[in-house]
Structure 1
Amino acid sequence: MTIGARTVVVGTDGSPGAVEAVRWAATVAAERNLDLLITHGLEFVVRFHDLDIAGMDDVGTLAQHLAESIVSEAREVALSVDSSLTVGTEIVPESAAALLVGLSRTARMVVLGGSGVGAVGGVLVGSAVATVVSQAHCPVAVVRRRGETVPTVGPVVVGVDGSPNSEQAVGVAFEEAAFRGAGLVALHAWSDVSDERLFGLARLIAKWDSVEPDQQRLLAQRLAGRQEEHPDVEVRRRLVRDNPRDALLEESEHAQLVVVGSRGRGGFKGLLLGSTSQSLVRRAQCPVLVIRPETAT
């Protein structure tokens, strides 16, 4: 995470998913004594600003007024979570993705809804997710529902593959579990092969029975230091002979948060967490927190 950052940034387009994202972001900010910044990108204005089309000025004014209404309602939602929360707002004639990626440089976390419908001038949050997840400079939370609600109970789940980005994800997952008073499930998959026939062959060639003890030890070593820092977090280790995407999606059915690196190579065959993280933000049944690789400043 950005060291010293004091702001949680959330994008909104007024859709139900975006409202849930604002509520979730406000809860995170309030619990951790952070500020909240609600943003809305006027992508419509960017696209048509320089076109000489009759009536475009009126449409632009309408888009601005609609954006102000969306942001005002989002602010009310945030303050309903905690009336003492410091809430800022920002409406910018820029695409949602560009706006959020730019703000991520100084944010503690960027939060998005898992989908968005975007009215005239709206940011269309859903279309921004993939870009923000792959380009942001801080962790990105995608708030997904289970059925009609966003889950708030259950463990925090983290994907572990031994890569540097995964190590960051493990650290953040422990922090999240400690904040939430939740248990932690540390999941390590031995393969990213999804075809069962190939996977059966891999098991035969690799002699899985002899591999398992080594993998158990490696997973324990990767968690040991973090467990010492957070002794109150109860940890369950899970090793699976499965595609990490499928195993983490399964865990999301009972979790309140899944934490993964945005990319990674490691473990026995190397978890390709880039594809895994993208799948999770589209299909998980709970919020997903994607940890971006640390970059030199």
Structure 2
Amino acid sequence: MSSQEEPVSTSTTTPDPVVVGIDGSPSSTRAVRWAALEAARRNTRLSLLHVWTPVPASVPHAAALGAYEDALVAQARQWLADAESVAREAAPDVPTGSSLVEGSAAARLIGRSAAAQLIVLGSRGLGGFTGLVVGSVAVAVATHGHCPVVVVRGDDDEIVRQDGPVVVGVDGSPANRDAVRFAFAAAAARSVPLVAVHAWSDLPLTTSWELTTATDLVQQHAAEELTTWLSAAHAEHPDVTVEPVIAHGGPAQVLLARAGAAQLLVVGSRGRGGFRGLLLGSTSQAMIYHAACPVAVVPSPPH
């Protein structure tokens, strides 16, 4: 069965596109709107992608299910047409194309990430099972993708907010540097402040004097480190106003508390102690599942 494929430009000056996964759900529609606005900021194309899974030939009576597959493809084409209308309404000047392909959604999206600036996904698919959809698609793409992945979180009946700062989690690890650069660029493109959050955990101390003294020293040292960790990316975007936040607590807890007022939360795919090849970092997964705003997961650089 043939599939609808997006025309591919042969121009070497055409930027790689923002790719958004489509499944016909309200969450997917919100992701399309967010992706269209982001493509406009980046002055690039928007690619709408739906992946459908054919019935395996090994399934009994698979040959008789041709009409069922035809219906799946027809529905997918309608979803893509509807998504294109949403994209054009959100960003009329953004060139938009669509693709309908067979296979595994995660595998196809990971493949497309090799030539994309950004992959954008909704947080819930048809049926609304966040754990199932995010666990099987978004986490897989964020773990193995070659470009940043944005999961557009929030309530389906709300328009994704365009105000508020960009928030980035900073831990000073080499893997975190690209996340910091991404966050600065995002804040600059939106002309909003950047909230740079560094969290530290409890100290193994007993007396209140020890705790108070050590806390002050930790706060001072962490503030100095945070300034150093941000310096290179800040030099690239000197007009971005930075609000440094040194907070006591676990990284996930601290970042989730900041996400409610943010329009975008940025994390690295793996932080301190992370090893390439392992699953997505625990903090990044917590953001994908629980943050109140869109979450960008920026992959670690290859070793």
Q: Secondary structure at the match of 1:182?
A: coil
Q: Tell me by how many angstroms 1:88 deviates.
A: 1.3
1:5-49 alpha-carbon deviations (Å, 9 max, x no partner): 521000010000000001100111112210111001112x1x434
| Aligned equivalent of 1:216 | 223
Within 2, Cα distance between the matches of 1:279 and 1:48? 34
Within 2, Cα distance between the matches of 1:203 and 1:85? 59
| Aligned equivalent of 1:138 | 147
| Aligned equivalent of 1:101 | 110
Query: Structure 1, unaligned stretches of length 5 or more?
Result: 192-198, 267-271
1:51 maps to 2:42: no
| Aligned equivalent of 2:41 | 31
Q: Tell me by how many angstroms 1:264 deviates.
A: 1.1
1:177 maps to 2:187: yes
Q: Tell me by how many angstroms 1:151 deviates.
A: 1.8
1:171-216 alpha-carbon deviations (Å, 9 max, x no partner): 110000000011000000113xxxxxxx364687883322222111
Within 2, Cα distance between the matches of 1:105 and 1:292? 12
1:241 corresponds, among 219, 229, 248, to 248
Percent sequence identity over matched residues?
41
Within 2, Cα distance between the matches of 1:63 and 1:240? 49
Q: Tell me by how many angstroms 1:223 deviates.
A: 1.4
1:277 maps to 2:277: no
Q: Secondary structure at the match of 1:48?
A: coil
Within 1, Cα distance between the matches of 2:205 and 2:26? 44
Q: Return the letter of the residue paired with 2:259.
A: S
| Aligned equivalent of 2:18 | 8
2:236 corresponds, among 217, 221, 229, to 229
1:40 corresponds, among 50, 70, 74, to 50
1:84 maps to 2:96: no
Q: Tell me whether 202-211 or 15-24 shows the greater mean CA deviation.
A: 202-211
Q: Return the letter of the residue paired with 1:12.
A: I
Query: Structure 2, unaligned stretches of length 5 or more?
Result: 1-13, 274-278
Change (3 A) 1:89 1:254: same
1:291 corresponds, among 283, 295, 298, to 298
1:129-168 matched pairs, under 5 angstroms: 129-145=138-154, 148-149=157-158, 150-168=160-178
1:78-117 alpha-carbon deviations (Å, 9 max, x no partner): 1112223211111111111111001001100000001111
- What RMSD over aligned residues (CA atoms) do the two structures have, in Å? 2.4
Q: Tell me by how many angstroms 1:146 deviates.
A: 5.1
Q: TM-score, normalised by structure 2?
A: 0.85
1:75 maps to 2:84: yes
Within 2, Cα distance between the matches of 1:10 and 1:179? 20
1:112 maps to 2:121: yes
Within 2, Cα distance between the matches of 1:49 and 1:203? 66
Change (3 A) 1:167 1:31: same
Q: Secondary structure at the match of 2:221?
A: helix
Change (3 A) 1:170 1:273: farther
Q: Secondary structure at the match of 1:22?
A: helix
Q: Tell me by how many angstroms 1:130 deviates.
A: 1.3
Q: Tell me by how many angstroms 1:295 deviates.
A: 2.7
Contact 2:143 2:280 in 1 (8 A): no
Q: Return the letter of the residue paired with 1:143.
A: V
| Aligned equivalent of 2:271 | 264
